[in-house]
Amino acid sequence: MEQNGLGSKMRAGILGTGSALPNKVLTNQDLEKIVDTSDEWIVSRTGIRERRIAGATEATSDYALLAGQRALASAGIQAEDLDMIMVATVTPDMMFPSTASLVQDRLGATHAAAFDLEAACSGFMYGEFLASGLVNSGQCKYVLVIAGDLLSRITDYEDRSTCVLFGDGAGAAVVGLVPKERGFLAFHLGSDGAGGKFLYMPGGGSRLPASQESVQSRQHFLKMEGQETFKYAVRAMGVSVERVLSDAHLEMTDVDLLVPHQANVRIIEAIRQRLHLDPAKVMYTIEKYGNTSASSIPIALDEAVREGKVMQGQVALMVGFGAGMTWGAVLVRM
Ligand code: ACO
């Protein structure tokens, strides 16, 4: 139920988007010099040709800040107007304070509360869901949802099965009230902790704090069972898409652009074929950025907006999955 005091005229929606990527490019040819791999293998198995890598002195908050500033500019909102900042990340600058608090300070968002949320690559979906609830309930007027990850920081560049996949970046959206004809139409979120063993980073938490041994045995790097993750992704994203469409009483033909998590072009193609979608209605950034974790969807959405691939009044369907396992879809009229 909406309690924003505006009756049925307004509801939560996306007011503006932004993104930020490092300038440094790591190509498949560069990786050929580091591990036993080939451009041919990486392109045919993943669709990735290059990814962006942050500089040694940079951190997630640097890109989260830039993406947030760009989203605010595109929404025409001042930082002081924000009530809440969320940063979805698995690579915070440090364990605490939260990356969102660091961003809040540097943005000058003096009236905003701030916290990080951790739902791995589904983090942006979880953030949009929360922001929509806060805005529709009238508890917040403007919420900045940022997803930022420097996965290069937890990638093992001696493990060829994972190091070819990941890149760095951040994306953001400002959520506030929009006329009722637009805005969020449906959400679906899911989680299955039993799948946690397929994608995780063992070291650095309370279970295995950092020690000489943990560093030497490479426990502070991401570990993944690729094929299991692949199967989860296709299944979970398919379910989420079907659920949001049915909840919003829409068909796939009503969707103008699918913005899927960019983990592997074969996963995106499996979803696209299952939904009988024309490739022109799907956003692909995987070739140039690889898998940027939680940021991949807001980066792709921001590019789609800037390139005119989704216009005001059109329907975008975002869908993602990630460690946890977690997954989710957001259906929104821009
Ligand atoms: N270069 C060359 N060969 C490689 C490489 C590489 N970079 N990596 C693995 N291989 C080899 C393997 O050793 C194996 O060799 P073998 O047959 O001699 O044992 C062979 O290639 C096939 O390996 P598979 O793991 O079966 O390859 P697959 O086709 O499954 O592709 C991949 C692997 C790309 C990881 C795929 O499983 C995948 O994309 N899974 C999903 C990953 C994902 O979505 N992760 C992110 C989810 S959440 C998040 O975004 C953080």
- pLDDT at position 81, please? 98
- Say whether pLDDT at 320 is over 80: yes
Mean pLDDT of the chain: 96
Per the annotation, the verdict on 261 as an active-site residue is: yes
- Per-residue tokens: 208: 């295995």
- Say whether pLDDT at 2 is over 50: no
- What tens digit of pLDDT does each residue of 249-299 get? 999 999 999 999 999 999 999 999 999 999 999 999 999 999 999 999 999
Q: Which residue puts its alpha carbon closest to atom 9 of ligand 1?
A: 161
Which stretches does DSSP call E strand in 182-322? Answer: 183-191, 199-200, 223-224, 257-260, 315-322
Instruction: Report whether residue 223 contacts ligand 1, using a CB cutoff of 6 Å.
Output: no
Q: How far is CA 35 from CA 40, 78, 156, 268, in A?
A: 14, 46, 11, 26
CA-261 nearest atom, ligand 1: 50
Instruction: Report whether residue 121 contacts ligand 1, using a CB cutoff of 6 Å.
Output: yes
State the distance from the centre of ligand 1 to the C-alpha of 248, rounded, in angstroms: 36
Q: Per-residue pLDDT averaged across 93-106, rounded?
A: 98
- pLDDT at position 1, please? 41
- What tens digit of pLDDT does each residue of 75-95 get? 999 999 999 999 999 999 999
State the distance from the centre of ligand 1 to the C-alpha of 45, rounded, in angstroms: 7
Rounded Cα gap, residues 314 and 94, in angstroms: 39
> Closest Cα to residue 15, out of 125, 172, 187?
172
- pLDDT at position 232, please? 87
Cβ–Cβ < 8 Å for 80, 139: no
Please choose from 30, 164, 166, 230 the residue to mutate so as to test ligand 1's pocket, defined by most ligand atoms within 8 A of CB: 230
- What tens digit of pLDDT does each residue of 24-76 get? 999 999 999 999 999 999 999 999 999 999 999 999 999 999 999 999 999 99
Q: Which residue puts its alpha carbon closest to atom 14 of ligand 1?
A: 161
